[in-house]
A and B are shown apart, each in its own frame.
Chain A
Amino acid sequence: MSSGTFLIMRHELLLIAAALLVLIAEIFGNPEKKSRISLFSIILMGIITAVGFLPSPAGELFGGMYVSSGTRLIMKNILNIGALLVFIQSVTWLNKKENSSKVSEYFILLISTLVGMNLMISAGHFLIFYIGIELATIPIAALAAFDRYKNKSAEAGIKLILSSALSSGVLLYGLSMIYGTTGSMYFNEVSGLFHNNNLQILGFIFFFAGMAFKISIVPFHLWTADVYEGAPVNITSYLSVISKGAAVFILMIILFTVFPVIVATWQKTIFVTSILTMTIGNLFAIRQQNLKRFLAFSSISQAGYIFLGLIGGNQLGMASVIYYVLVYIFSNLGAFGVVIAISNATGKENIDDYNGLYHTNPKLSLIMTLALFSLAGIPPVAGFFGKFFLFTGAAQKGFYLLVLIAVLNTIISLFYYLLVVKAMFINKSENPIAAFKSDFYTRFALGICVAGIVITGFASIIFEAIRNLSFGI
C-alpha cells in the first residue's frame, strides 16, 4: 500500500485505526478510569477531523471500487464534524454509572459506522456501497438498543435492524436487476449501460426504496419515529444527522453518476416522495409531545426539503444539499444538544416539561430557539441560507410548484417549532425545570453548534467552497 493510497483513503484508514486504538485502550487501560476513554476517543476523532481537511489527491483505487474526489472528501469531512459533535455530546451520558462499562464499545461502534459511511460515500462499486451501508446500519441498531434496561431502547433496536434488513433486501433485489441488465456493478460502467427500460426502472425503484428508507423518506419512514424515540438521545441525534446525511450524500452521488440516463424518472420519484415526505413529516410532527419523537418527524420533513436539492440534478442543487446537510448537522445537533443536556440532568423529554424553561435556563432556551429557527429556515441563521439554496436549486430547473409546496410546508414546520419556543418562553409552569449548569463537554458542543448555526450562513466562503467542488449530471 503506497503512501498515495494512504492519503486517498486516509479517512477510512484513520477511523479504523482509531477504532482499534480505542479497543486496545479498552483492553489494556485501567478499568477504574474508563471515563478517560471518552476523552481519548474525542481527541482521536478531533485529529481525524482535522486531518480530513488537509489537501488530498483525488483518485481511484482498487480498480475503481474506491473513488475519492473533492466532493466526497468534503462530504466525509462534514460527517466527521457531526460525529465529533455527537462524541462530545455523549460524554455526560456515558459518564453515568449504568453506561460506564460500555464506553469503549460505544465509541468503537460509532467509529465503525463512520467507516461504513465513508466507504459508502467513496464507493465506486455497488458492493462497497452495500457493505458500507450495512456497516453503517448494523452497529447503530445495537447502539439504539444500548440502554438495556429500557424497553423502548430494545424496541428501537429491533425495529431498526429488522426494517433495515427488509429495506436492504429490497435494495439488493433492485441491485440484482440492475446487475442483470447491465452486467456490472461498477458505477461508471452501469451508467453507460443504463437504458430507460422497465426492468431497470423497477430495479431503480427498489434501490431507491432501500435508500429512501435510510433517509426516512415517506412512505419508507415509519421506523424513524419509534427508533428515534426509543434510542438513547445521542444515538438519535447521530441517526438523524450523520446517518441521514451520509445516505443523502451517497444517494445523490449515485443518482448523479449512475442514473443520469433515467433522470426524468428519478426526478418524478423525488417529486412525489419529497412532497409526501415534507407533508407527512410535518403533519405528524404537529402532535408530538416527546421531543425526540418530535425531532424525528421534523427530521423526516427536513429530508423532504433536502430532496429539493437533489431533484434538479444540477451543480447548484448538489452544492446546496451538501451545504444544507452541514447546516442541518449544526442545527439539529444544537437542538439535540439541548435535549440531551436536559435529559441528562432531569430525564425530562417532553415539550410540556420545557414550559418556562427560559426563566430558569435562559441560555439553553436561546440555543434551542436558535437551532429550531435554523431548522425552520428563519434568517439570519444558517438554516435560512440552506433552505434558500435548496429551493434555488430546484427552481433553477423549473420546479416552482415543488418549491411552492415546500415553502408552504415550512409554515407548518414553523408552527410546531414555535410550539416549542412557546413552551420555553411563553408558557407558565408550576414546576419548571430547575436551573442547572451543564458540564464542559455539553457546553463546548453547544458552543460549536451555535457558532456553526450563526457562521455557516453568513460566511459565504463555505458555500462557495462546496459549490466549487460540486458537480451536476
Chain B
Amino acid sequence: MINFSYTIWILLLPFLMFLLLGLAGHKLKAKLSGLLGTFGLGIITFLSYLTAYKYFFTSEKIDGAFQKITALNFTWLQFTDKLHIDMGVLLDPISVMMLIVVTTVSFMVHIYSLGYMKGEKGFERFYSFLSLFSFSMLGLVLATNIFQMYIFWELVGVSSFLLIGFYYQKPSAVRASKKAFIVTRFADLGFLIGILILSFNTKTFDFISLTNPSGAAISQGSSIGFLGLSVMTWSMIFVFLGGAGKSAMFPFHIWLPDAMEGPTPVSALIHAATMVVAGVYLVARMFPIYAISAPVALDVVAYVGAFTSLFAAVIACTQTDIKRVLAYSTMSQIGYMMLALGVAKYGGETGLGYMASMFHLFTHAMFKALLFLGAGAIIHSVHSNYMTDMGGLRKYLPITHITFLIACLTISGIPPFSGFFSKDEILAAAFQSNKFLFAVEYAVAGITAFYMFRIYFSIFWGKDTQYQHTPHEAPATMTIPLIILAIGAAVSGFIPFNKLVTSDGKILETGINLVIAIPSVLIGLLGIGIAYIMYRRESTIPDKLAAMFKYSYKWAYNKFYIDELYLFVTKKIIFRYIAVPVAWFDRHVVDATMNTIASVTQGVSFRIRGFQSGQLQKYAFVFITGAIMLAVLFIYLWK
C-alpha cells in the first residue's frame, strides 16, 4: 500500500496560503504576495503530479481495476452513529485526474495573473482568493463523502462570488457576483435536499459505500416510491440540480455569462476549466448510483446536457463580447460532458460515455483555459471585450494568435488536436445509445466550430481597426502559460484515458470510429468554412442573415430572454409579491394584532372610566347591585 498521507498538504497549503495572504497580505508587498501564492501553488502542483504518478502507475490494481483509496479521513462532525461528515482525501481515477486539471490550470493562472493583474489594487486580495478557490476546489475533488463535497462545493461558490466581484466598485461586477452566488445557491439547495434524501435512505455519506455497485447502500431507497419515481431517483435528480447549478446547465445557466465580469484569469480558472465542471464531476462521482439505481435521473442528465449544449451554442453565435461567447461555449461543452455521462451505463463497453466525458473534461479544461487566457491577453492589450472593437490583431499579438488558433482548432474537433479525440468518444457514446441525442450533438459540433472561428476571424483577421494605443504582445508571465496550455491542448488527446479513467476502473478498449470521426471532422470544417466566408474579411453577410432571421436572431441575441424571466420571477414575484407582502403582513397584521390588544386594553380602560364618576351614590349603586348580582349568581345560577 502506498502512503498517500502527504496529500493532506494539497489541501492544507492553499488554505494556509489563503489565511496568510488574507490576514497579512496587505502588509506584504503586492508582488511578494503574488509570488508567494504562485510558489505555494507550484508545490501543490508538484504534489499532485506526484500523486497522479503514484496512483496510476505504482498503485496496486485489484481485478484489473483501479481502487478507490482513502488516503486519510477523520471525523469532522458527527451527526449520528452512521452519519458523520468526514474530512479526508479520496483518491480514485477521476479525483486524481481532476487534481491534475485543477492544479495545472490553477498554476498557469497564478503565473498568468502575475502579469495580467499587475498594478491592480487588491493584488494580494486576488491571490488570497485564488488560494481559497484552489483550496475549495481541491477539497471538492478529493472529498471522501458527499457532505464534504457539499461543504467545498459551497466554498467554491463563495470563492467564485468573491472573485467575480473582485472589482467590487463596479456595479455590474457586484450584480454578477450576487447573481452567480444566488443562482448556484438555489441549485445547491437541490443538492442539499438530494443529500438529505439520499442519506436518509442509505444512512451513509461515504462515497465508497455509496457507490459500491454491489454494496448495500446503492439499492436502498430505489424500491420506495414517491410521486411515481423511486426515492433514489428523486434524490439523484435533486443532486443533479446542484450539479446543474454549478455547471451552468439550463435553466441555471444565467449566472455564467455575467460571471465574466470577473478578471479574465478567474474566468479561465473557475468559469471555464475547473469549477464549472464540478457538476460533471459530481455526476461522475455518483455515477454508479445514477446508472444502477436511478436511470431516470440519468436520462434527465442526458437531456439537460444535450439541450444546454445546443441552446448555448446558438446563443454563442450571436454574442459580440468575446468572453461571453467563450462562456456560452463553455456551457455548450459542459452540456457535451453531461450528455456523455447521461448516455453511459456502468461498466464495460456501455461505460464509454463516462470515459468520454472525463476525457472531454480534461481536454476542455486545457483548451478552454487557453482560450480564456488568450482572450485575456487580447483584452489586456485592446482594453475592450467586444470583438467589434477588434480586428487584424494577428500582427500585433503573434503568440496569442497562434495559441488561440490552436485552441479554436481543438474545440472544433480538428485532428490531431485533443478536442477531436474526446469529442469523438462522446459522439460515439451518444451514437451507441441514443440517435436523437447524437444528432443534436452532431449539429452542435458544427455550430461550435462556426462560432469559434467567428471570433477567431473577427479578432485576428477581419477589418483593420485603428487602435488608440498600439496593441502589444503580453509579457512573458502571460505568454508562457499560453504556450504551455497550447501544448497541453494540442497533445493531451493522446493520453490513454481508456486505460486510466473508466466507469468501473477497468481498462476499456476503444479506437477511433471512422464512421463517426469523419463526419464530425467534416462538419467542423464546414463550420470553419462558413465562418471564414462571413468573417475573414469585412462582409455584409452576417447582417443580412441577422436581418433575415430577425426574430430568431433577436431571441438568441437576448439569450432567449431567460434572464428577463428570472428577473421577473425574482424582482416581481419574490420581492414584490412575496417578500414585500410578508413584511407588510408582519407589520400590519401580526404586529398590529399585538398592538391592537394593547390599544383595545387602553380603549376599554377609557370606555369604562364612567364607572368612576365621582358620584358617591353611583358607587353605592354599583355596590348594591354588585352584591345582589353576586347573591343571585351564587344562590340560583351557579350553585
Q: In whole angstroms, what is the CA distance A362 to B314 when docked?
A: 78
**Shortest Cβ distance from residue B616 to the other chain A in the assembled complex, whole angstroms:** 5
Q: In whole angstroms, what is the CA distance A415 to B605 when docked?
A: 13
B616 touches A202 (CB 8 A): no
Q: In whole angstroms, what is the CA distance A218 to B605 when docked?
A: 15
Residues of B within 8 A of A460 (CB): none
A287: interface (CB < 8 Å): yes
B228: interface (CB < 8 Å): no
Q: In whole angstroms, what is the CA distance A244 to B604 when docked?
A: 27
A166-B631 in contact given A159-B616, A280-B608, A283-B601 (Cβ < 8 Å): no
Stretch at the interface among A38-46, A253-261, A264-272, A440-448: A264-272
Q: In whole angstroms, what is the CA distance A412 to B609 when docked?
A: 17
B627 touches A170 (CB 8 A): yes
A222 touches B619 (CB 8 A): yes
Stretch at the interface among A143-151, A205-213, A316-324: A205-213
User: In the complex, which of the residues B602, B608, B627 contacts A220, with contact meaning CB atoms closer than 8 Å?
Assistant: B627
A205 touches B604 (CB 8 A): no
Which chain B residues (609-623) contact chain A, with CB distance < 8 Å?
609, 611-612, 614, 616, 618-620, 622-623
**Shortest Cβ distance from residue B503 to the other chain A in the assembled complex, whole angstroms:** 67
Q: Closest residue to B631 on the A side, CB-wise?
A: A205
**Shortest Cβ distance from residue A399 to the other chain B in the assembled complex, whole angstroms:** 16
**Shortest Cβ distance from residue A269 to the other chain B in the assembled complex, whole angstroms:** 6
Residues of B within 8 A of A202 (CB): 631, 635
A201-B622 in contact given A209-B627, A283-B605 (Cβ < 8 Å): no
Q: In whole angstroms, what is the CA distance A473 to B168 when docked?
A: 78
Q: In whole angstroms, what is the CA distance A405 to B6 when docked?
A: 68
Q: In whole angstroms, what is the CA distance A208 to B634 when docked?
A: 12
Contact pattern, B 589-606, Cβ under 8 Å of A = 1, otherwise 0: 000000000100110111
Chain B at the A interface: mostly helix, strand, loop or mixed? Answer: helix
B630 touches A166 (CB 8 A): no
Residues of B within 8 A of A206 (CB): 627, 631
Residues of B within 8 A of A268 (CB): 634, 638
B616 touches A162 (CB 8 A): yes
Q: In whole angstroms, what is the CA distance A226 to B639 when docked?
A: 35
**Shortest Cβ distance from residue B246 to the other chain A in the assembled complex, whole angstroms:** 52
User: In the complex, which of the residues B614, B622, B634 contacts A205, with contact meaning CB atoms closer than 8 Å?
Assistant: B634
B633: interface (CB < 8 Å): yes
A201-B635 in contact given A209-B630, A219-B622 (Cβ < 8 Å): yes
Q: Closest residue to B621 on the A side, CB-wise?
A: A222
A205 touches B630 (CB 8 A): yes
B634 touches A201 (CB 8 A): yes
Q: In whole angstroms, what is the CA distance A167 to B634 when docked?
A: 20
A166 touches B605 (CB 8 A): no
Q: In whole angstroms, what is the CA distance A190 to B598 when docked?
A: 47
User: In the complex, which of the residues B606, B608, B614, B622 contacts A226, with contact meaning CB atoms closer than 8 Å?
Assistant: B614
B415: interface (CB < 8 Å): no
User: In the complex, which of the residues B606, B616, B624, B627 contacts A158, with contact meaning CB atoms closer than 8 Å?
Assistant: B616
Contact pattern, A 266-290, Cβ under 8 Å of B = 1, otherwise 0: 0011001100000010011011000
User: Residues of A within 8 Å of B, CB-based: how many?
Assistant: 34
The winner among A170, A201, A222 for most chain B CB atoms within 10 A is A222
A213-B623 in contact given A158-B616, A283-B604, A286-B602 (Cβ < 8 Å): yes
A194: interface (CB < 8 Å): no
A37: interface (CB < 8 Å): no
Residues of A within 8 A of B639 (CB): 201, 265
Q: Closest residue to B614 on the A side, CB-wise?
A: A226
Chain A at the B interface: mostly helix, strand, loop or mixed? Answer: helix
A412-B612 in contact given A202-B631, A219-B622, A268-B638 (Cβ < 8 Å): no
A201-B631 in contact given A159-B616, A163-B620 (Cβ < 8 Å): yes
**Shortest Cβ distance from residue A463 to the other chain B in the assembled complex, whole angstroms:** 33
A284 touches B631 (CB 8 A): no
B605 touches A284 (CB 8 A): yes
Q: In whole angstroms, what is the CA distance A280 to B611 when docked?
A: 10
User: In the complex, which of the residues A158, A159, A166, A265 contacts B623, with contact meaning CB atoms closer than 8 Å?
Assistant: A166
B623 touches A412 (CB 8 A): no
B251: interface (CB < 8 Å): no
A209-B626 in contact given A166-B620, A272-B633, A287-B609 (Cβ < 8 Å): yes
A205 touches B627 (CB 8 A): yes
**Shortest Cβ distance from residue B628 to the other chain A in the assembled complex, whole angstroms:** 9
Residues of B within 8 A of A272 (CB): 630, 633
A283-B623 in contact given A205-B631, A209-B630, A272-B630 (Cβ < 8 Å): no
A222 touches B627 (CB 8 A): no
Which chain A residues (158-189) contact chain B, with CB distance < 8 Å?
158-159, 162-163, 166-167, 170
A2: interface (CB < 8 Å): no
A223: interface (CB < 8 Å): yes
Q: In whole angstroms, what is the CA distance A159 to B616 when docked?
A: 6
**Shortest Cβ distance from residue B626 to the other chain A in the assembled complex, whole angstroms:** 3
Q: In whole angstroms, what is the CA distance A466 to B631 when docked?
A: 34
**Shortest Cβ distance from residue A102 to the other chain B in the assembled complex, whole angstroms:** 26
Q: Closest residue to A173 on the B side, CB-wise?
A: B627
User: In the complex, which of the residues A208, A273, A284 contacts B609, with contact meaning CB atoms closer than 8 Å?
Assistant: A284
Q: In whole angstroms, what is the CA distance A223 to B616 when docked?
A: 8
A231: interface (CB < 8 Å): no
**Shortest Cβ distance from residue A297 to the other chain B in the assembled complex, whole angstroms:** 9
Q: In whole angstroms, what is the CA distance A314 to B606 when docked?
A: 38
A225: interface (CB < 8 Å): yes
A198: interface (CB < 8 Å): yes
B623 touches A220 (CB 8 A): yes
The winner among B598, B611, B612 for most chain A CB atoms within 10 A is B612
A284-B623 in contact given A162-B616, A201-B634 (Cβ < 8 Å): no
Q: In whole angstroms, what is the CA distance A200 to B598 when docked?
A: 42
Which chain A residues (404-439) contact chain B, with CB distance < 8 Å?
412, 415
B633 touches A287 (CB 8 A): no
**Shortest Cβ distance from residue A113 to the other chain B in the assembled complex, whole angstroms:** 22
Residues of B within 8 A of A269 (CB): 630, 634
Residues of B within 8 A of A223 (CB): 616, 619
Q: In whole angstroms, what is the CA distance A158 to B608 when docked?
A: 24
**Shortest Cβ distance from residue A301 to the other chain B in the assembled complex, whole angstroms:** 12
Q: Closest residue to B620 on the A side, CB-wise?
A: A166
A219-B626 in contact given A162-B616, A201-B634, A225-B612 (Cβ < 8 Å): yes
Which chain A residues (125-150) contact chain B, with CB distance < 8 Å?
none
Q: In whole angstroms, what is the CA distance A206 to B602 when docked?
A: 33
A222-B623 in contact given A283-B608, A284-B608, A284-B609 (Cβ < 8 Å): yes
Residues of A within 8 A of B598 (CB): 415
**Shortest Cβ distance from residue A303 to the other chain B in the assembled complex, whole angstroms:** 15
A265 touches B626 (CB 8 A): no
Q: In whole angstroms, what is the CA distance A198 to B636 when docked?
A: 9
Residues of A within 8 A of B630 (CB): 205, 208-209, 269, 272-273
Q: In whole angstroms, what is the CA distance A222 to B639 when docked?
A: 27
Residues of A within 8 A of B631 (CB): 201-202, 205-206
A163 touches B608 (CB 8 A): no
Q: In whole angstroms, what is the CA distance A201 to B624 when docked?
A: 16
The winner among B606, B609, B631 for most chain A CB atoms within 10 A is B631
**Shortest Cβ distance from residue A325 to the other chain B in the assembled complex, whole angstroms:** 24
Nearest first, the 3 A-B pairs at minimum CB distance are A219-B626, A222-B619, A209-B627
25 sampled A-B residue pairs with Cβ under 8 A: A159-B616, A163-B623, A166-B623, A166-B624, A201-B635, A202-B631, A202-B635, A205-B631, A206-B627, A206-B631, A208-B630, A209-B626, A220-B626, A222-B612, A222-B619, A223-B619, A265-B634, A265-B639, A272-B630, A280-B608, A283-B601, A283-B608, A284-B608, A412-B601, A415-B598
> Hey, which bits of chain A sit against chain B, CB under 8 A?
158-159, 162-163, 166-167, 170, 198, 201-202, 205-206, 208-209, 213, 218-220, 222-223, 225-226, 265, 268-269, 272-273, 280, 283-284, 286-287, 412, 415
Q: A159-B616, A201-B631, A225-B612 are in contact. List 17 more A-B contacts (CB 8 A).
A: A159-B619, A163-B616, A163-B620, A163-B623, A170-B624, A198-B635, A205-B630, A205-B635, A208-B630, A219-B622, A219-B625, A220-B627, A222-B612, A280-B611, A283-B605, A284-B612, A287-B605
